[in-house]
């Protein structure tokens, strides 16, 4: 059985996907971009967009009764290689250690500098 989650605090694009899906003990959070959730316009540079992505993920996980500390894996797409340092700076500040497993790839993202997706494990937090 699966459960679908949607947050009013994360952007809703007119595209066919759910904010998150719970399957068993795992919650899969769809890719989030660094936009204002009301206007859907990209905000600021890489640091601002990274923080916004993480805020969206946090809001979605909250709907599932979870927190950022439940994340076990993050996949990040960056549009530009030169943004990796700014991304890492914000990531390290907003995601608590011990850190989730992670992959970062460089992709064409149109008007966005970053897209992040997350996999959360519901029964326990990282480090428990």
Chunked in runs of 10, what are the mean pLDDT values of the chain (128 residues)?
Answer: 92 91 97 95 97 98 97 98 97 97 94 97 90
41 Cβ contact list (under 8 Å, min separation 6): 35
89 Cβ contact list (under 8 Å, min separation 6): 47
Question: Residue 74: beta bridge partners?
Answer: 102, 118
CA distance 121 to 14: 28
Q: Look at domain 2-121 and name its CATH class.
A: alpha beta
What is the side-by-side order of every strand in the sheet holding 26-33? 2-5, 20-23, 26-33, 114-121, 71-78, 101-106
73 Cβ contact list (under 8 Å, min separation 6): 100, 101, 102, 118, 119
Q: Would you state the pLDDT for residue 109?
A: 87
Q: Would you state the pLDDT for residue 27?
A: 98
Q: Would you state the pLDDT for residue 25?
A: 96
Question: In sequence order, what DSSP letters do the residues of 57-104 get, joined into one string?
Answer: HHHHHHHTT--GGGEEEEEEEES-GGGHHHHHHHHHHHSPSSPPEEEE
């Amino acid at each position: 059985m699966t459960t679908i989650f949607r947050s009013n605090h994360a952007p809703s694009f007119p595209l066919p996907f759910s904010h998150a899906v719970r399957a068993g003990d795992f919650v899969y959070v769809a890719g989030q971009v660094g936009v204002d959730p009301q206007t859907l316009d990209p905000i600021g540079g890489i640091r601002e967009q990274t923080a916004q992505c993480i805020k969206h993920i946090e809001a979605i996980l909250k709907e599932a009764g979870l927190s950022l500390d439940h994340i076990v894996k993050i996949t990040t797409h960056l549009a530009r290689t030169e943004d990796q340092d700014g991304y890492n700076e914000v990531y390290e500040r907003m995601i608590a250690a011990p850190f989730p497993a992670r992959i970062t790839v460089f992709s064409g993202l149109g008007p966005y500098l970053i897209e992040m997706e997350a996999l959360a494990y519901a029964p326990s937090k990282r480090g428990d």
